[in-house]
Amino acid sequence: MQFAVTVPAVADKLLQIGVSKILEAIDEADFLDGSYGYRPGRGALDAVFALRVRGDSMTEDQIEDGDLILVKRQATATNGEVVVALIDGEAAPP
């Protein structure tokens, strides 16, 4: 009797996996590239990284040369927020 219960459970799981692959492909087109939450292969931790500060352009915000800062990747910024920006997709040279 245990076999009769196992086969439908496996078939159901395979169907769930197949449907989720189809829905992920459809929904993926609606996400912005900078969106990281609840996506296959991307998680919230992928959107956070550490940078070592070089220079003194942010000392008014108590961010000093040599500081290690945590940065959250996001597509937009609100007026007054401190941002780190890539120029042409790359960081400034050392």
Task: Look over the chain and give the mean of its residue pLDDT values, rounded to a whole number.
Answer: 75
| pTM (2 d.p.) | 0.44
Tell me the two tokens of residue 39: 């996506």
Tell me the two tokens of residue 1: 């009797």
pLDDT beyond 70 at 38: no
The pLDDT value recorded for residue 21 is 80
Residue 70 parent element (H or E): strand 68-72
Number of helices (H) and strands (E) in the chain: give both, helices first. Answer: 1, 2
Q: Parallel, antiparallel, or unpaired: how do β-strands 48-52 and 68-72 relate? A: antiparallel
Question: pLDDT by residue (tens digit) across 2-25?
Answer: 555 566 677 788 888 888 788 777
